[in-house]
Structure 1
Amino acid sequence: MVKPYLIDFPKLGKDSTGYICVVELHKALPFEVQRTFWTYDTPESFVRGNHAHYNTEQVLFAVAGRITVTTEMPGGATEIFHLQNPHQGLYVPPHVWHTMQYTPGAVQLVYASTHYDETDYIRDYEVFRAKWKHEA
């Protein structure tokens, strides 16, 4: 099973003029993008996510601020990622429980491999643990 991992994207520019980050979707991502969304104005005390997907793959970016992403594999292994560089994304494969917490002013951009489908979500942690315990 594939684990979450960081992807560095080209950072073009310099301190004196600013930077641009280019993501050529067909080259840089491990899947074809079907959906793009962003979150913003999330209170620092609120934890988003709290789910896993059956099929959806995602790459998460902190295009502003800092986002702390906690991932859990079906076997229980957890990792914490601190997204704070706009040129770096976190690949989150299917079957991985994930949560996100945001600093004030943080903006998260997400590329997803599927269109939105509520049946693709597992929002109950105990169901997640039971569903993939054989993959541990």
Structure 2
Amino acid sequence: MKIELLKFPKIQDPRGNLTFLQNNDQFPFEIERVFWTYDVPGGGQRGGHAYKSQQEIIIALSGAFDVIVENSSGEITKFHLNRSYYGLYLPPNSWRHMENFSTNSLGLHLSSSKFNEEDYIRSKEEFKKA
């Protein structure tokens, strides 16, 4: 699959909106790990790596931030996440970092595999060779 901005269902209601996720109905993997990023200091960055086999979806549950993604052919794209009903799908071998965090932003990460340090590519040079 390719890097893609996914739109999740948004059920509008005067009492407040609701969005939901269901495995395999809305994205191409079973969730094995969930983590979130928050309290990123002003001007800070998160990420700065790629995965060899892991797939990931990043959602801005609250606030906003940018995800800068480089694919295996060297194309760089910036995604501004600021709506909780959108998720950025990242296939394996997608170099990413997040920046420009708004105050009190909360990023939710859904991963296709459990944490495995061996799956990380932490060197940009190694990423470009792969």
Q: Same fold (TM over 0.5)?
A: yes
Determine whether 1:82 maps to 2:80.
yes
**Deviation digits for residues 35-93 of structure 1, max 9, x if unmatched?**
01111101131111100000000000000000100100111101110110000000001
Separation in 2 of the partners of 1:92 and 1:82? 14
Q: Which aligned runs of 4 or more in structure 1 are off by greater than 6 angstroms?
A: none
Amino acid at match of 1:25: N
Structure 2 partner of 1:121: 120
Task: Note the 1:1-136 alignment, pairs <5 A.
Answer: 2-14=1-13, 16-101=14-99, 102-131=101-130
Identity percentage of aligned residues: 34
| Shift, 1:128, TM fit | 0.6
Separation in 2 of the partners of 1:55 and 1:43? 30
Would you tell me which structure has more strand in proportion to its own residues?
A: 1
Separation in 2 of the partners of 1:20 and 1:85? 12
List alignment gaps of at least 5 residues for structure 1. Answer: 132-136
Separation in 1 of the partners of 2:45 and 2:94? 16
TM-score by length of 2: 0.95
Separation in 1 of the partners of 2:65 and 2:96? 12
Count of paired positions: 129
Would you tell me which structure has more helix in proportion to its own residues?
A: 1
List alignment gaps of at least 5 residues for structure 2. Answer: none
TM-score by length of 1: 0.91
